[in-house]
Structure 1
């Protein structure tokens, strides 16, 4: 029998997935609920990350880290655009710059750079370096990882050690706040893999993931000074590696697991898992709410280490019955 080509496999898989509904169990209400998972068109990545929903353009921006690629999914067109970031090895997050159309803050190695991209062209260029951290030779193998703007437009981003051999034993990462007109502030040191972060400003809480700790920590948070204190573990898994994270309008957090096929919905006030959203691939990297009503959960994945299809696809999850919070642009 003639072997099926990869594009044929992908086409058949996507056609099948467009018809599939996954059911899960809502642990709070003790009733079944349905949600639908669908892949975005042309949203394949090696390591998809950093999803950011931009209300102004009705677009989902995200990155493909290890090939320095920027992506934009246009909701109205139902189409994904790709751009190679010229001259760079990594692109670890992408956040639109407030008041500057077509400008983005992007994490490249240990630099936060400002990139010009029209969201359509196949190439994008670095215009300037806004910040650089960990300049010493001892940090040569470090790079920025996850990054996101808070409600005041301050960019929070952290570093990680990027040597696969010692990935889980070397804690040279740090978490920073980049605020316009102010020096870079170090929030936390001794980090393995700085990863998911989100805020509940109404409750004065900040949530942060160091993937090497296999947990999500909640901090009491001063929104004015960015001071964090009183860390408390609100989610922990012995084998599933937590990665990216977001929050809904009810204050529940959603945690992607890089080794677990799953996005977990968690009530941080009780540390209870409310919902497990299951995917047909293992490496789930990050999550963000978007869509016109902010009720679609967008999910990035990875096909690192030759994971089979549909690994690397970017998905949308509908029917969850919740809404997210608007994501902020960065002031830089």
Structure 2
């Protein structure tokens, strides 16, 4: 199947991550992690706006807060901050801290990495040791649910990354990059509890990173070392399509656009990768649609 790649204007970041398509504003939000930078790509204007979060060193994901216009849940170090941004101004401010994780000394170096809201508005986000170290499995995956204590879901994680849910099949998909695989869990949407993990995709060469899902239940896996987004049928583990990018470090993916049929792809320019590394792309012509992404209930 043919597809078309296009770079988003003014989309460059050192480590682009956490894409979230907001139906209400018809905008793609994402972050540049080490520069605490937020982006908003306005689909209708074909224009990208960006802002630095005042006083912060990292921003690992950005998700609109349900019922609070112009407010976003953002992963900042070991905190989930509520950040106020109008989507246009060059600066954004932390309004309050919604959650904090890992206060213990043994986790003091960790930071929050990828995060996403499940279809009920619960935030799932995990942590990682700040440097890529195969021996450091100090990360954990947490569930943040309105009115409830922070709940650890999984421990001994290397790099907590991609997340996706399928309500039709009651499944949850999760990536620990250091495992080089995607795990599928049974998921109770009433309680937010995953169980019975099994491996549905494993790649011996490339590091899996961010992930999304389409309306047919196929998952799309960004590979940090492989120029490629893999479309995979999790029921059979078959690779259905390889979407090739003109840069190596593919960090995450999200469906968006007015019809949810555009695949947005974030990338990294780490380790002096040449241009167009670090730019964000849109992929059209895939012939599939994604699922609406959820806002966070805080």
Equivalent of residue 76 in structure 1, options 21, 33, 44: 44
Deviation at 1:226, TM superposition (A): 2.0
Q: 2:216 and 2:84 mapped to 1: Cα distance?
A: 35
> 1:190-244: per-residue Cα shift (whole Å, max 9, x none)?
1110000000111010000000000000011111112222211111111100000
Q: Which of 132, 139, 157 is 2:125 aligned to?
A: 157
1:2-13 equivalent positions in 2, closer than 5 A:
none
Are positions 1:63 and 2:31 aligned together?
Answer: yes
SS of 1:305's partner is helix
Alignment of 1:194-273 (within 5 A): 194-273=160-239
1:90 aligns with 2:69: no
Aligned partners of 2:190, 2:156: CA distance in 1, in Å?
24
Q: Name the residue aligned to 1:323.
A: 289
Match for residue 125 of structure 1 among 93, 104, 125: 93
Deviations along 1:177-199, one digit per CA (max 9) or x if unpaired, are 10111111111111110000000
Deviations 1:69-97 (A, max 9, x none): 00000001100001001111100000000
Is the aligned partner of 1:173 residue 2:136? no
Aligned-partner Cα distance in 2 for 1:159–1:47:
16
1:65 shift after superposition: 0.2
Runs of 5+ unmatched residues, structure 2: none
Task: Name the structure 1 match of 2:256.
Answer: 290
TM-score (norm 1): 0.89
Distance of 2:21 and 2:193 partners within structure 1? 27
What is the CA-CA distance between 1:141 and the residue it aligns to? 1.2
User: 1:141, 1:163 within 8 Å by CA — same for their partners in 2?
Assistant: no
Tell me the number of residue pairs that the alignment of Structure 1 and Structure 2 aligns.
298
Confirm or deny: 8 A CA contact 1:246 1:287 kept in the other structure.
yes
3-state DSSP of counterpart to 1:34: coil
Q: Deviations over 1:143-189 (max 9, x none)?
A: 0000001111100000011134xx22111101011011111111111
Number of the residue aligned with 1:8: none
Establish whether residue 112 from structure 1 lines up as the match of residue 80 from structure 2: yes
Structure 1 residue ranges without an equivalent (≥5): 1-32
